[in-house]
Structures are given as structure tokens and as C-alpha cells.
Amino acid sequence: MKAVRFHQHGGPEVLRYEEAPDPQLAPGEVLVRVRACALNHLDLWERRGLERVTFPMPHISGSDVAGEVVASMVPDVAAGRRVMLQPGVSCGRCAACLSGKDNECPRYEVLGYLNHAGGYAELVKVPVQNLVPLPDEIDFLQAAAFPLTFLTAWHMLITRAQLKRGEDVLVLAAGSGVGQAAIQLAFLFGARVFATAGTEAKLERARSLGAFEVIHHHKQDIAEEIKRLTNRRGVDVVIEHVGEATWPQSVRSLARGGRLVTCGATTGYNAALDLRALFAKQLTIHGSYMGSKGEMLRVARFFFAGQLRPVIDRTYPIVEVAEAQRRLEESGQFGKIVLQV
């Protein structure tokens, strides 16, 4: 098969579109012909290298995949089935997996990380339980743009924060994949959504997705604006994935009894916390990582019904993957960047 691989860490120039061995199936696995694969910031970190993580080389990234089954080691899964893939892979045998909390599995990881080659390729193999059948009316580009960010947003809002209708939600970085997904989900479930972004164009896009009010995070103080917009009450839930640059304002934006849910640290992981605010305001801070396979199936129902729609910023042929990653690095996108394979 053809695949995009890197043989050493570095800038986008290390990415090579080249011949690679076809995946070899084991019992319980299926082979998928990749038609589209969306980018995530994880792809950039893998390419640059992560502290204390040794990646197998050459490496194939890509966690968000849609395509067609071409071979199967499972009797009831036939070739030709259109699918998108649940990006999280787990052992399927431990207590967490058997309790429907597979994203808490000790062996859990996403496609394209360490032990499971990703979707920057013509072919990818996955366990059969990672297949999500795709209706004919959903195209592969939309399907590839959906799984990781909407699953993450669902787990943050619905499972961890236990969002209630009528609550106020602050979503950081509306133009990101998680940001655009969280705005849509919070709006769908009856919340009043406040969103931040770094350009006027992105702020307008956030409004079009359901944001009630928007905040320019380069020109305005997020916490002060939230106090003004909520009559100094604050918000019930903050969806935080930016990290160090926004953490203090995210905590300050919470109302008494508020919940902050974090799934990332794009700008850095050293975040200070004033414990007096934590206990005096009775705040709750949740860590959140991906979501379970059951959650993937639940959130996908809203996608297939047309109630959620991933925003695609731009598509690139897979041979232009370096340019696609540069756009993601520059934070110029609103929504997902997708490779056509």
C-alpha cells in the first residue's frame, strides 16, 4: 500500500508518501480501505516527538478514519461495508472494558499512536468492535471529521460534566475540532453557550453553530467578559482544552458549584490553581480522555440524523499532508482538516 510515514522526528518535511507493507489481519480484525482521514493535534506532537515516548519507526499517524471494509477475519462482517472508525483501541478483556469504560483500559490508545498504525494510508486494520456502520447519505469526508472530537466533546459534556438543560457553558477555542463539536452538543442539549476565538471570522462561525455570546480571547479578558455576560454569576461548565494560556481565566469564569472539564493542554501543562477558590466556591475539576465505544454509538445517532454536523475547514489530497499539517500548526483553521486518500 501507499502511506504517509516519518522515519525521524522533525518538521512537516519529514513526512514521506511512500510504499509500506500491507497490514496483516489477526482473528477479530478487519481491514479498511481508507477514503478520508482527518487531522488532530496529536499528529503534530507525534511528528515532533514527545518527552518519554518512543514511537515505532517508520510511523503512520491518523486517528480519524472513514472508508470501506475490504477484508475481514470476522464471519458476519462482509467486504464493501461503509464505516467510520471509533478511534480508541482497548484490550476488550479487562474490568474497565467489560464495564463499558474502555477508555479507562490500561492498554487504551488511539489509532496512529504507538501500537496501532493510523489512517494516513490506503489501508488500516482495526478490531471489529471499532467499526461504526455508515449510512449511505453520509460522505466519507464528513465521517472522518466526526469521531474523535465529537466523542471527546460528548464525554466531557454529557458523561463528565453531566450537563443539564438551561445551564451556561463556556467553550474555549471555538475554531478547534473539540470547540466546534462542544458548541453544537451544548446547544443541542439546551445549554446557553459562550465561546471564545481569536478572530472576528471565527467568532461569527461560532455564533452560527449555536453560541449565544462570543469572546475575542486576544482582545478581551475571558473571565471579566463572562462575569459581565452572566450578571457576575459565572458559568456552570467550562470546556477547557487549551491549557496553560487560558487555565486561570477558565477557573475564574466558573459559578459557585461549577464544573471545569479538561481534555488537553495545547499551550502547556503547568496550570496553577488557587485552592481557596476551589473549596470556597465548591468547584469540581474533571479530567476527560476520549470516550467509550458505547458513547461513540450514542453520539453518532445525532450525526446520522443531521442534528450534529462536523465543520470541515479544508480538504487536501494525502500527498499534500505536509501543507495540511502546516495549516493546523498555524491555527488558521475553523473545524477539521481532512485528507482525501
Task: Please give the average per-residue pLDDT across 195-199, as a whole number.
Answer: 95
Distances (CA, A) of 80 to 30, 69, 70, 71, 333: 12, 5, 6, 9, 33
| CATH code at 2-146+310-340 | 3.90.180.10
> Is residue 77 pLDDT above 90, yes or no?
yes
How far apart (Å, rounded) are the C-alpha atoms in residues 94 and 119?
Answer: 26
| CATH code at 150-287 | 3.40.50.720
Q: What percent of the chain has pLDDT over 70?
A: 100
| Nearest by Cα to 219 from 202, 196, 249, 241 | 196
Distances (CA, A) of 27 to 95, 202, 218, 309: 22, 46, 52, 34
Task: Please give the average per-residue pLDDT across 86-113, as a whole number.
Answer: 96
What band does 140 get if pLDDT is binned at 50, 70 and 90?
Answer: very high
Q: What is the pLDDT of residues 144-169, one digit of tens each?
A: 999 999 999 999 999 999 999 999 99
Phi/psi of residue 150, nearest 5 degrees: -75, -35
Task: Please give the average per-residue pLDDT across 98-104, as a whole number.
Answer: 96
Helix, strand, or coil (residue 69): strand
Q: State residue 268's pLDDT score.
A: 87
How far apart (Å, rounded) are the C-alpha atoms in residues 29 and 36?
Answer: 20
How far apart (Å, rounded) are the C-alpha atoms in residues 193 and 239?
Answer: 11
* Full-model pTM: 0.95
- Higher per-residue confidence, 165 vs 331: 165
Pairing of strands 168-171, 235-240: parallel
> Is residue 39 pLDDT above 90, yes or no?
yes
What band does 285 get if pLDDT is binned at 50, 70 and 90?
Answer: very high
Question: Cis ω on the peptide bond leading into residue 23 (within 30° of 0)?
Answer: no
Task: Please give the average per-residue pLDDT across 26-40, as a whole number.
Answer: 97
Q: What is the pLDDT of residues 234-265, one digit of tens each?
A: 999 999 999 999 999 999 999 999 999 999 88
| Mean pLDDT (the chain, rounded) | 96
Q: What percent of the chain has pLDDT over 90?
A: 96
> Is residue 266 pLDDT above 90, yes or no?
no
Q: State residue 113's pLDDT score.
A: 96
Distances (CA, A) of 55 to 23, 59, 112, 117, 320: 18, 7, 10, 11, 23
Task: Please give the average per-residue pLDDT across 163-192, as a whole number.
Answer: 97
Pairing of strands 131-133, 82-85: antiparallel
Tell me the domain boundaries of the chain.
Answer: 2-146+310-340, 150-287
Supply the angle between the helices 321-329 and 41-48 in degrees, to the nearest 10: 100
> Is residue 203 pLDDT above 90, yes or no?
yes
| Nearest by Cα to 140 from 212, 83, 200 | 83
Task: Please give the average per-residue pLDDT across 57-61, as a whole number.
Answer: 98
Supply the angle between the helices 200-209 and 177-188 in degrees, to the nearest 10: 30
> Is residue 17 pLDDT above 90, yes or no?
yes
Lowest mean pLDDT across 111-115, 160-164, 266-270, 326-330: 266-270
Q: State residue 331's pLDDT score.
A: 86
Q: State residue 332's pLDDT score.
A: 85
CB 38 within 8 A of CB 27: no
